Structure 1
Amino acid sequence: MGLFYIGDRQGDLNNIFTVPSYLRTDAGIFYKQEGFRVGVNVRNLFDVDYFESSQSRLRVFPGEPLRVVGSISWEL
C-alpha cells in the first residue's frame, strides 16, 4: 500500500493560480508459489478527484480515476 501526497503548487509560470493538494492511495496484493504468480494492483483506491498537473488556467490535467490491473504469470 502506498500513500502519495502532493501539496498545493503554482498552476503556471506566472503564479496566477494554485492547483490544490491531493492524497492518492494505491494498493497491491500478490500470491506466489513456485513458478506461479498472480497479482492485483489498484491505483487511486478511493477514486479521489484530483489534478495531476497544469500548464495554464485553460490546460489543467485531471488525475486518472480508480484503475485495477491484474496479472498472472508462470515461470518454468
Structure 2
Amino acid sequence: MTLALQIILVLSSILLTVFVLLHKGKGGGLSSLFGGGVQSNLSGSTVVEKNLDRYTVLMVVIWVACIIALNLLQAFSG
C-alpha cells in the first residue's frame, strides 16, 4: 500500500510540475520584468486553458491526498 502511494505521489508530482509549466503567463511577475508582459491578452480563456486548470486542480488534490495518506500510514504503523 505504501509503495503504491509513493509511486502515485511521484507521478502526480511530475504531472503537476508539467501542468503548472504549461500554464500561460498572466503577467505582472518576473516575466514582465524581462519583456514577457508585452503581449496583450485579447482573447478570453479558451477551453484548453480551462481544462488545463481542471487537470491541475485534480493533480493537486491527488498529490495532497497521497501525502496525507502516507503520513497517516506512517503514524499508525507503530
- Whether these two folds match at TM > 0.5 is no
TM-score when normalising by structure 2: 0.24
Which structure: greater helix fraction? 2
Structure showing greater relative contact order (alpha-carbon pairs closer than 8 Å, 6 or more residues apart)? 2
TM-score when normalising by structure 1: 0.25
